Amino acid sequence: MPTAQSETAENKVFSVVGRPIPRVDGPLKVSGTATYTSDHNFPGMLYAVPVPSTIAKGTIATLDTSAAEKMPGVRAVFHRQNIGRFFRVPPNADFSIVIDERRPPFEDDTIRYYGQYVAVAVADSLEQAQAAADAVKLTYREETPDVRSKLTQEQEPTVGSQRGDAAGTFNSAPVKIDETYVTPVETHNPIELHATVAVWDGTTFTLYETTQAVKNHQLAVSAMLGVPPEKVRIVSRFLGSGFGGKLWPWTHDVLAAAASRHLDRPVKLVVSRKMMFQAVGHRPLTQQRIRLGATANGKLVSTQHDSLNHSSILDDYDEGCSEATPHLYRCPNLRVTNGVVHLNVGTPTSMRGPGAVPGLFALESAMDELAVKLDIDPVELRLRNDTEIDEGLNLPFTSRHLKECLTVGAEKFGWHQRTPAVGSMKKDGLILGWGMAAATWIANRLDCKATIDLKADGSVRVACGTQDIGTGTYTMLAQMVGEALGIDPDKIEVVLGDSALPTGPLSGGSMVTASLVPAVLEAAKKASQKAQFAATTTGPFSGQSAANLLFSNGRIHRKDQSPAEGVPYEQVLQAAKVSSVSGSGSSQGDFTDILGLTKPKLSSHSFGAQFVEVTWQPEIARLRVNRVLTVIDAGRIINPRTGRNQIEGAVVMGVGMALFEHTTYDDQHHGAPINSNLADYVVSTNADAPEIDVVFLDYPDTHLNAFGARGIGEIGLAGVAPAIASAVYHATGVRVRELPIRIEDLIS
Ligand code: MOS
């Protein structure tokens, strides 16, 4: 661990925010001692294995558990007739309890998607439970499922945003683009499977969960179980990632809880990789028509973005593909709409950068097509259409540096060497393709509470009911508290991942880091004030007014003294015979702004630019993403090491989005997601990873919080796929408008 500057230079102001410290939970993870959900084991614990339906549409005709129940070690086989009642979470507009698949498991005998759970077997061992689940006999009245991959509008779409006369100005525009872009179903594949370990103690559930939102999970699961929230505690100490798939509860959660209550034993349920493709969400299929109208010198005069996405039969999951379209460029006439088409698939959910990421594939691909048509450099086209205000909300931005992302990126990438003609750039016998795209993602805060304890043994504890999905929240919190108190992050214990802690933000929408700052700063201030007060009761400062004292560099000192002349706070607490002092902080978020529930005063977004080099070998039809440069404008970066890591991971994911990821449903047979394993569903690996360069612009966004930090979990994926598709066009002359880009698309 790095040492704090203050320890060597006495009067130098201690600062740890902005430093690339290694992850504080790294040693636990690399030594295998971090306890993930399915690592929890309890005496007498049973194993649950769900029985998924093998049709996608129809009804259950017969369900026979008799053979399964008689098998060795089997404790019970639960189904609609014997599990008891679950309740639907009522719809709520204010985001206070969220669940995407609203129908509780076993609610009726209707099957609406392949893999919908129809029973769950519980046994002494995993193998016995699996065997029993396999032995449950089902017959169905099967109907032909609708799992098509081409969408047609079913109902009037929702108008997301509009200004001016988009249709009229498009018709009269000198230059037009009118194309449809498709992104396929993508499935979240965190290496950690979804899991629940349910422990019922006779009055209360403790659920060890793979969740990105312990508090929401507590509220939603208690509502589904029909018990008060205080009877459900959710624990999620470490997550092997989630990508949005673990934001909200899924139906297996309450199956495990109910089984534990029925059998009065702890129950572990781990969703299989195959089931991960069925009943725990996915990014839906999107089909997006983009119409751009421009002047001959490349000024946008009209933008229309009409998107459709699929949802399940019962739920209206709206991907919101046009989220970024109203504010990314200046354009006087705009209209964006979203429509939902209901298919026999599991309920979709948020996946890294929901809305904007598939949306920008369409919009930024269309911008590249416009640049080609106009014979204007694609960077220059974006610069000509940059905007000072968010024209969608008609509000100024808190901080927008897209222009600088573009110019810095172009400079560092060497963009001026690009020759625009298709296939005109070559290196080492390979054809080079260079493409780029702009990126943006929301920047908001959620409500947050946090508590800080300063202890007489010199340690500090910070607690917050948020969680770390693997991105570095433990580390970030240690840095924030360290910064606020002038204490080395090594001495700070960070406690997360428990609904019993002060309510923290969900780990989604890239909002955690920004949300933590105000609550943590307030908690630190209150805790240090209490330490100052303790100092006035005895010892070197006794009898003095607490108002004359300061707390800095971990020391208490008089205002007329330097920190170095002060007394370490733990010595003050020891002298006062106080074992610890505690401070709580609480802050209100601004997230309701983007739900349209409150009126925002400013528009707050992150920005970025992606520059991509692909290599193309037509002789052997080999395409490779060779090099990616990402420039990110996301406020102040709390930790450049974990920050860079986030963006690098997102870029690698973007390579998968552009070239590989695609969940295929079997529309000839029973509607199953057929490539439901990591061999057939291809994600990009180390071997596919390009050389990645990440540049952070450093413009603190102090409207969002005192540190000026935004979030960076999602922005790194935005723009990668369209930049790759544009680079592929530059190399090959083939414009691929349907992801993933396949070799078949490129050979004639
Ligand atoms: Mo992210 S899709 O908000 O976990």
Give the DSSP letter string of 640-654. Answer: HHHHHHHHHHHHHHH
Q: Which atom of ligand 1 is nearest to the CA of 354?
A: 2
Average pLDDT over residues 295-311: 98
pLDDT of 475 over the 90 cut: yes
**Tokens linked to 521:** 């700063």
Computed on alpha carbons and rounded to an integer, the radius of gyration of the chain in Å comes to: 27
User: pLDDT by residue (tens digit) across 630-646?
Assistant: 999 999 999 999 999 99
pLDDT of 556 over the 90 cut: yes
pLDDT of 8 over the 70 cut: no
- 13 pLDDT band, cuts 50/70/90, is low
12 Cα: distance to centroid of ligand 1 (angstroms): 39
Closest by Cα among 287, 312, 311 to 362: 287
Number of Cβ within a 10 Å radius of residue 174: 11
20 Cα: distance to centroid of ligand 1 (angstroms): 24
pLDDT of 82 over the 70 cut: yes
Lowest mean pLDDT among 9-18, 296-305, 407-416, 556-565: 9-18
- What predicted TM-score, i.e. pTM, was given to this entire model? 0.97
Distance of CA 530 to the CA centre of its chain: 37
Residues having CB within 6 Å of any atom of ligand 1? 212, 242, 244, 247, 350-352, 354, 508-509
pLDDT of residue 11: 44
pLDDT of 10 over the 60 cut: no
204 Cα: distance to centroid of ligand 1 (angstroms): 30
Angle between helices 512-535 and 473-485 (to 10 degrees): 40
353 Cα: distance to centroid of ligand 1 (angstroms): 6
Average pLDDT over residues 68-96: 94
pLDDT of 661 over the 50 cut: yes
Q: Which atom of ligand 1 is nearest to the CA of 247?
A: 4
693 φ, ψ to 5°? -120, 130
The mean pLDDT of the chain is: 96
Q: Which of 210, 282, 352 to mutate to test ligand 1, by most ligand atoms within 8 A of the CB atom?
A: 352
Q: Which of 444, 714, 717 to mutate to test ligand 1, by most ligand atoms within 8 A of the CB atom?
A: 714
441 Cα: distance to centroid of ligand 1 (angstroms): 11
User: pLDDT by residue (tens digit) across 63-81?
Assistant: 999 999 999 999 999 999 9
User: pLDDT by residue (tens digit) across 593-605?
Assistant: 777 788 888 999 9
pLDDT of 7 over the 50 cut: no
Q: Which of 216, 350, 467 to mutate to test ligand 1, by most ligand atoms within 8 A of the CB atom?
A: 350
349 Cα: distance to centroid of ligand 1 (angstroms): 9
pLDDT of residue 596: 78
User: pLDDT by residue (tens digit) across 534-555?
Assistant: 999 988 899 999 899 999 999 9
Average pLDDT over residues 640-667: 97
Looking at the chain, the whole-number percentage of residues with pLDDT higher than 70 is 98
Looking at the chain, the whole-number percentage of residues with pLDDT higher than 90 is 94
How far are the Cα atoms of 26, 202, 626 from residue 433, in angstroms, in the given order?
38, 64, 10
**Tokens linked to 376:** 């204007």
Average pLDDT over residues 216-235: 98
Q: Whose CA is nearest to atom 4 of ligand 1?
A: 244
- Output the CA angle 590-650-694, nearest 5 degrees: 95
Q: Which atom of ligand 1 is nearest to the CA of 714?
A: 1
pLDDT of 748 over the 80 cut: no
Average pLDDT over residues 525-538: 95
Q: Which atom of ligand 1 is nearest to the CA of 713?
A: 1
pLDDT of 4 over the 80 cut: no
Q: Which atom of ligand 1 is nearest to the CA of 507?
A: 4
pLDDT of residue 1: 34
Q: Known catalytic residues?
A: 714
Q: How far apart are CA 563 and CA 191, in angstroms?
A: 47
Is residue 748 within 8 A of residue 621, CB to CB? The reply is no
